Amino acid sequence: MTNATCWREAQRYLVGGVNSPVRSFRAVGGRPFFVDRGQGPTLWDVEGNRYLDYVCSWGALILGHRPPEVLKAVNEALERGTTFGTPTPWEAELAKEISQAVPSMEQIRFVSSGTEAVMSALRLARAVTGRNKILKFDGAYHGHSDALLTKAGSGMATLGLPAVPGVPRQVTQDTITIPFNDPKAVEQMFRRHRKQIACVLVEPVLANVGVIPPAEWFLQRLRALTKEDRSLLIFDEVITGFRVAYGGAQARFGVKPDITLLGKVIGGGFPVGAYGANRRLMQWVAPQGPVYQAGTLAGHPVAMAAGLATLRALRRPGVYSQLEKTGAGLRKGLLRLSVGMGVPIVVNQIGGLLSLFFRSSTIETGKQARASNTRRYARYFRGMLARGVYLPPSAYEAWFLSTAHGEREIEKTLKAHSAALEEF
């Protein structure tokens, strides 16, 4: 079995050879490799080639591949069965663990993806407020539900899709998109659409157009404006949740949203999403209330076990300071080497989340990120891959570090970085 034969088969039976567009290498050239297995920070493809993994399943694997405590929990769960379609104790156990870490999530509903969490939360916000307008930010990506497929990040930015056919205008006409970190735009929108906005949906750290942390005032201002306007503030923490701090971005920045969305890390490598809020809001969700939302495998027992084992491992002292130290060390090394070689780059980093842009001035908005040199990123990506370092195959995706990335991995990355830039 070779990467080439796998790719031929994949293209025959799977659209574009992939099950999610951003995996297609379309934006960076070449074709994807096919993974045979992973361990810690490393992937091996079907030909035995080894890669240092900075994608980590798009952020889900914060403990790296096959962490022993997660494997143990999953195997124990499998001894009892796979899925039962009934309540199990583990759903409430994981919900309790999350709620203790993220107190704004008094009550939680598990779903099977981040997209489902987002679309359910929007439905809830519109029901509770009786309003329809959604305010979101240019470059953010909140999954692929119709109302949000306008000026989105991630795969839409990667493939340069400004809008998506098949999404009726009527569905997106109530979605307002403004620049992230832009004080005037936010104030203006709340004036123009006073008492019409159901919710502000924000990635508290933009991570789908590259990584862009919030300006000092940004999240606090959104909180104040939504309170005043009686609209709801929704933090999409599918990426930042349990990544930038154990309590997520809301803990790190001290701003409490009305509704929080989670995914990735809380599933420990299995398909899980979640939305949660205070009891008053969540009581609107069926079967308690009229806002219908459901899912065959929601709260999947094996996924709950994997998520619980992951969060318990993340609770250990020093985990986040280690991620911060590794992330900051990598950023410093990348910048130092690039300056020495006269190749201007920007590296935005927060905790174990970072991205590298080929651009000389700072990047604080989606527009500035999109003005970075993506052709250079594509060449850099190929140069790094040829040296066994697998970066996200898109200039608009984040690099995800895991607790399995240590000194040795940073050294290998910086060595490859130097050699790849030599070729510029």
Can you give the binding site for ligand KE4, defined by CB under 6 A? 20, 22, 58, 113-115, 118, 141-143, 154-155, 203, 208, 236, 238-239, 263, 273, 397
Question: How far apart are the C-alpha atoms of 54 and 243, rounded to whole Å?
Answer: 14
Looking at residue 135, its amino acid is: L
Choice between 238 and 416, CB closer to ligand KE4 = 238
Choice between 142 and 331, CB closer to ligand KE4 = 142
Write the CB contacts of 273 (distance below 8 Å, at least 6 apart in sequence).
Answer: 110, 111, 112, 113, 114, 115, 116, 117, 238, 261, 262, 263, 267
Question: How far apart are the C-alpha atoms of 243 and 364, rounded to whole Å?
Answer: 20
13 three-state secondary structure = helix
Residue 166, sorted as left (phi over 0), alpha (psi -120 to 50) or beta, turns out to be: left
Choice between 27 and 414, CB closer to ligand KE4 = 27
137 three-state secondary structure = strand
Choice between 156 and 416, CB closer to ligand KE4 = 156
Question: How far apart are the C-alpha atoms of 380 and 385, rounded to whole Å?
Answer: 8
Catalytic residue among 133, 136, 138, 141: 141
- Residue 264 annotated as catalytic: yes
**By the 8 A CB rule, do 244 and 401 touch?**
no
Instruction: Report in angstroms how near the CB of residue 263 gets to ligand KE4 at its nearest.
Output: 5
53 three-state secondary structure = strand
Catalytic residue among 264, 320, 390, 396: 264
Choice between 247 and 333, CB closer to ligand KE4 = 247
Choice between 142 and 223, CB closer to ligand KE4 = 142
Q: Residue 347 belongs to what H/E stretch?
A: strand 346-350
Question: How far apart are the C-alpha atoms of 300 and 274, rounded to whole Å?
Answer: 12
Instruction: Report in angstroms how near the CB of residue 142 gets to ligand KE4 at its nearest.
Output: 5
- Residue 138 annotated as catalytic: no
Choice between 20 and 75, CB closer to ligand KE4 = 20
Instruction: Report in angstroms how near the CB of residue 150 gets to ligand KE4 at its nearest.
Output: 15
Instruction: Report in angstroms how near the CB of residue 382 gets to ligand KE4 at its nearest.
Output: 20
**By the 8 A CB rule, do 317 and 104 touch?**
no
Write the CB contacts of 396 (distance below 8 Å, at least 6 apart in sequence).
Answer: 139, 153, 154, 157, 158, 208, 209, 210, 369, 370, 374
Write the CB contacts of 11 (distance below 8 Å, at least 6 apart in sequence).
Answer: 17
Instruction: Report in angstroms how near the CB of residue 113 gets to ligand KE4 at its nearest.
Output: 4
- Residue 236 annotated as catalytic: yes
Catalytic residue among 236, 246, 380, 396: 236
Looking at residue 20, its amino acid is: S
Question: How far apart are the C-alpha atoms of 74 and 94, rounded to whole Å?
Answer: 14
Instruction: Report in angstroms how near the CB of residue 310 gets to ligand KE4 at its nearest.
Output: 16
Instruction: Report in angstroms how near the CB of residue 155 gets to ligand KE4 at its nearest.
Output: 5
Cβ-in-10-Å burial (0-12, 13-18, 19+) of 147 comes to buried
Would you name the residues annotated as active-site residues?
141, 236, 264
